[in-house]
Amino acid sequence: MTRLSSYLLPTLKEAPADAEAVSHRLMVRAGLVRQLGAGMWTWLPAGLRSHRRAEQIVREEIDAIGGQEMLMPVLQPAELWQKSGRYPITELFKLKDRREADLVLAMTHEEAVTTHVSQAVRSYRDLPKILYHIQVKERDEPRPRAGVLRTREFTMKDSYSFDRDEEGLDRAYGLHIQAYDRIFDRSGLEWHRVESDVGMMGGTDAHEYMAPAAAGENDVALSDAGYAANVEIASAGARAVEGLPEPLDAPEPVETPGATTIDSVSGMLGVPAGALIKAIPVEVEGRGPVLTLVRGDHRLNEIKLQNALGAPFRGVGEAEVREVFGAVPGFIGPVGARVEVVADEALSGLEGLVAGGNDPDIHLRGVEPGRDFEPTWADIRVVEAGDTCPNGGTIRIEPAIEIGNIFKLGSRYSEPLGATYLDEQGSERPVIMGCYGIGPARIVAASVEQFADEQGISWPRALAPFDAELVGLGKPGEEAHEVAERLYEELREAGLQVLYDDRAASPGEKFADAELVGCPLRVTVGRKSVEAGRLDAQVRRGREERSLPLDDAAGAAIELWRSLP
């Protein structure tokens, strides 16, 4: 029964004061979700219906590529995580049972699924397999935020592929790309599949699915030429610097008292920021001190730097700058550096640059990389809007919500957890794995973000909690009421999921609530409809008004509904 008079849909005129993200505000206002604590959210009846729809799309498409659904527990022995080496992760919730045994709340299920595979899979004949479940994840997030977008407990579809070799993994990965493309198309979202960082976990390939939205926590670099990458790893050609100074035969010191920032040096010498060399000293694990350089108007990309170095690094303090790098903080530069220098490729081929002189209040001008110092070249800067992408387009950068990710794991978990098989030759080999995640809550929130307007949510058909909202304006005893009741039954019998506003409320209130909740189609039955022999319908997306014949209203409404996005 989805009569609004008895349904729990607590809509609000005002959003909670501390809610900022559109999806946060609207999902609370529309009565879809409620907060129980930081990063802890309840899905109320209508919200859960949308969540379930997202889940079901995911389930159908993963089934379609041969995924086998199962269900693994959230509460797990710590031992598994100690084996995989992930027990120290601070986001992992740890607890003890009454016998003081160590347990964890799973933040993802590689350990569990790999353990089962290690027990059940013995032969190459048992492979390949794709296993998945849709289960709650627990993560002690340092900062839950934006309603349902980053929570400490959330539902995730996580699938895992198990193959005998890389070739099999490539196939499973490709199947997931197919499935994911279909899932996000079916969800009605605008989305991009972008290359993403493989992290330090030894993966070989990774993509993320990103839904552009203002509330997104990630930035993606896109171009009309089809380039799409997370800015964490995006690579592009830099724009040229306007107004570079004339080159000199050799670097020449210049006094720059107190000028320790790009802006101050640039202002003092009257050169553009892009004519400066920004030098950032770091200490690299297992490699020692390294001086990294980017153009003055660029930013260092720490993930790209780490990938280029092949090792983690950390920033250094002022004392280290003096003692290890032999430079004055604020005036450090590559000319005469006593440590290894790694320079961003955007500095290559430039001349007449300004760099720190390593002495107090001194910069050098006329610096030319390759002539005045010999760096290791690498791509280590953050790409910017206006850069040129590898296939020729111009880069733009958009915030986006990560709605899914796919990742080639290799033997990262199968080795420590003993998931091996015997090949035809009888030799034992590690199973080659991939993992693939989707957050249905993020699909739902991204959809709210992408299509909401001033009046509220505007669902695509695929995710709406109800297909249509029927607004009844007549009071019991009036003909309009009878007509609405009858239409409600007819629509339901025809297979439409209908939210029927049968409350004793004013028309304005009902219309406002209907648009806030955002079902794709609204049908109104009132005295006017009965008199005119026509019903008013509103297409939520665009708020377009339509008129339906009173006889066969159900048929006409369904036909209209089918034509909606």
Shortest Å, Cβ 363 to RNA: 27
Nearer to RNA, 174 or 507 (CB): 507
Residues 478 and 493: their CA atoms lie apart, in Å, by 23
Tell me which residues touch RNA (CB under 7 A).
Answer: 11-21, 24, 35, 37-40, 85-86, 88-89, 91, 107-108, 110, 139, 141-146, 150, 199, 201, 217-218, 302, 455, 473, 475, 506-509, 511-513, 515-516, 524-529, 535-536, 538
Nearer to RNA, 152 or 363 (CB): 152
Cβ of 2: how many Cβ atoms within 10 Å?
21
Residues 170 and 176: their CA atoms lie apart, in Å, by 10
Shortest Å, Cβ 44 to RNA: 13
Shortest Å, Cβ 524 to RNA: 4
Residues 64, 132 contacting (CB under 8 angstroms): no
Task: Find, among 424, 464, 432, the residue nearest to 448 by Cα.
Answer: 464
Nearer to RNA, 500 or 511 (CB): 511
Shortest Å, Cβ 509 to RNA: 4
Phi, psi of 441 (to 5 degrees): -65, -35
Q: In the β-sheet with 102-105, what is the strand arrangement from edge to edge?
A: 75-77, 102-105, 93-96
Most distant CA atoms of the chain, gap in Å: 97
Nearer to RNA, 18 or 246 (CB): 18
Residues 560, 509 contacting (CB under 8 angstroms): no
Phi, psi of 153 (to 5 degrees): -125, 130
Task: Find, among 11, 5, 37, 40, the residue nearest to 26 by Cα.
Answer: 11
Phi, psi of 502 (to 5 degrees): -105, 20
Shortest Å, Cβ 397 to RNA: 14
Nearer to RNA, 33 or 462 (CB): 33
Cβ of 103: how many Cβ atoms within 10 Å?
15
Nearer to RNA, 204 or 455 (CB): 455
Question: How crowded is the C-beta side of 347, counted as CA atoms within 13 Å?
Answer: 39
- Strand 33-37 and strand 40-43: pairing? antiparallel
Nearer to RNA, 261 or 394 (CB): 261
Shortest Å, Cβ 161 to RNA: 16
Shortest Å, Cβ 18 to RNA: 3
